[in-house]
Amino acid sequence: MASILRRIKKKEFDGFKDFVRSLETTAHSKRVDIIQAAILEDPIYMIYIFKNMTNPGEVIELVNDSIDVFVKNLPNSMNTLARAFFGTDKIEFIKNEVLPKGLAKDFEEELGLIKELKQSEKEAAGYLMIQTYRSLQEQEFIYGKPWDFPPANVIKEDSTARQEGHVITNFENGQVAAEGDFIKGKREGTWVHYYENGVIMARGNWREGMKEGEWTFWHANGKKKCQGIYREDVKEGNWLYFDRNGMPLKK
């Protein structure tokens, strides 16, 4: 995953939007690894990525005023909504405040036909909702949530390439985001990465711009998240994973 953001930043604002849309519809397990790698490259850039990402629950609220347009363009609309929100607390809101009576009845009938649902099927329906929303937003058929782009010096491809020596990067609130050394424009030696709340997010070694050796990651509450070895920027061997309470997980 070396230079994952460099490729994206070449397209600047279009690349930013494409990356947001891609992450929104990427399977959770894969998305976690992509985000983890990208945060280590540029935590400031990724803060803006998170600000712009959406989810099915937010989408259904964003399209509330344009529900007719959204439903018309959402493939197999009532079945898709039923699968996306099956077993959630959004069902009554959708029936009573989003859908007109006729569609609300169809939605309820589709829910009644679902006896069980795999998580992958639920996620697929949610991704289809997000894709439809983003397409309508891009075509300006619905307004949606305005894009919140990072400053030009963050979105540019070479925002870190000119760095040299010991570097400290800060979040907008002044908190240190990352600290370490650049040699010839590449990260080198031990780096420490932080969350906006000041908790250490990750600590490990870089060699010529690639993660190398043992790395440890923490949750935002300070509990250990995972630990293992990188070889030339690729995870190697068995990694240990922990939940937000610090209890071991199987991976």
The pLDDT value given to residue 162: 56
Closest CA to 23 of 38, 42, 43: 38
**For 4-50, how does the pLDDT look when each residue is reduced to its tens digit (9 = 90+)?**
888 898 899 999 999 999 999 999 878 888 888 888 888 889 989 99
- 164 pLDDT tier (thresholds 50, 70, 90): confident
Return the beta strands (E) in the chain as ranges.
165-170, 176-183, 186-194, 200-207, 210-218, 224-231, 234-242, 248-249
The pLDDT value given to residue 175: 87
Query: Facing residues of 176 across strands?
Result: 170
- 151 pLDDT tier (thresholds 50, 70, 90): confident
d(C-alpha 182, C-alpha 209), whole Å: 8
The pLDDT value given to residue 1: 47
**For 94-106, how does the pLDDT look when each residue is reduced to its tens digit (9 = 90+)?**
999 999 999 999 9
Question: For the chain, which residues make up each domain, given as ranges?
Answer: 56-138, 163-251
d(C-alpha 177, C-alpha 171), whole Å: 6
The pLDDT value given to residue 53: 95
CATH of 56-138, one of 2.40.128, 2.40.10, 1.10.220, 2.60.40: 1.10.220
d(C-alpha 8, C-alpha 3), whole Å: 9
**For 108-146, how does the pLDDT look when each residue is reduced to its tens digit (9 = 90+)?**
999 999 999 999 999 999 999 999 999 999 999 998 889
Amino acid at 67: I
Residue 201 dihedral angles phi and psi, to the nearest 5°: -95, -40
Q: Assess whether pLDDT exceeds 60 at residue 70.
A: yes
The pLDDT value given to residue 2: 52
pTM of the model: 0.80
Q: pLDDT over 70 for what percent of the chain?
A: 96
- Average pLDDT over the chain, rounded to whole? 90
Domain 163-251 belongs in CATH node 3.40.50.1860: no
